[in-house]
């Protein structure tokens, strides 16, 4: 998600170019591309780390997990999924018991598979459906 595969490919190209004694300008071009890719990955990682929830925010989630799940919990998880934030995996884990009860076995199984496979778009869609279902049930009650 942050370009690490590009770094791996370029590092391999650089190593191969050096082993094959290619001209210096070819090796330098590959190394410049590698340096740029490393800078990009660092910037992307910094952005992802900035979006991480504060460590104390998880305490509220643990308490929420003991009771029923609310629309705010689903919204927060949706936001993490939509931004492809890896913190969604931890939040999903904390909320999974309540989500399972809310969504039912089949829907929850699809959500779990989406989260496990890092399919953020499908996960967010399934959660939006669950939120709509929760709101509809609240209106009926």
Domain count, the chain: 2
pLDDT (tens digit per residue) in 65-77: 435 677 788 888 8
- Same domain assignment for residues 101 and 127: yes
Q: Residue 56 — pLDDT band, cuts 50, 70, 90?
A: very low
Are residue 44 and residue 66 in the same domain, yes or no? no
Listed in sequence order, the residues at least 6 apart from 107 whose beta carbon sits closer than 8 Å to its beta carbon are 126, 129, 130
What confidence score (pLDDT) does residue 65 get?
41
pLDDT above 90: residue 13: yes
What are the DSSP calls for 75-132, one per residue?
Answer: HHHHHHHHTT-THHHHHHHHHHHHHHHHH-HHHHHHHHHHHHTT-HHHHHHHHHHHHH
- Asked if the model's pLDDT at residue 135 lies above 70, the reply is no
* Residue 137 predicted with pLDDT over 60: no
Residues 103, 40 within the same domain: no
Q: Is the pTM for the entire model greater than 0.75? A: no
Instruction: Assign 58 a pLDDT band (cuts: 50, 70, 90).
Output: very low
46 with 66, same domain: the answer is: no
Q: Which residue has the tokens 């590959």?
A: 30
């Amino acid at each position: 998600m942050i370009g690490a595969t590009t770094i791996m490919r370029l590092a391999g190209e650089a190593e191969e170019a050096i082993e094959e004694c290619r001209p210096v300008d070819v090796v330098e071009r590959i190394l410049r591309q590698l340096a740029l890719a490393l800078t990009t990955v660092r910037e992307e990682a910094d952005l992802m780390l900035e979006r991480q929830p504060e460590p104390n925010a998880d305490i509220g989630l643990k308490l929420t997990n003991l009771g029923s799940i609310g629309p705010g919990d689903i919204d927060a998880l949706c936001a993490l999924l939509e931004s492809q934030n890896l913190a969604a995996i931890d939040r999903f884990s904390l909320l999974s018991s309540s989500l399972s009860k809310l969504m039912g076995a089949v829907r929850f199984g699809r959500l779990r598979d989406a989260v496990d496979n890092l399919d953020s778009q499908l996960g967010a869609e399934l959660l939006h459906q669950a939120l709509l279902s929760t709101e509809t049930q609240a209106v009926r009650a």
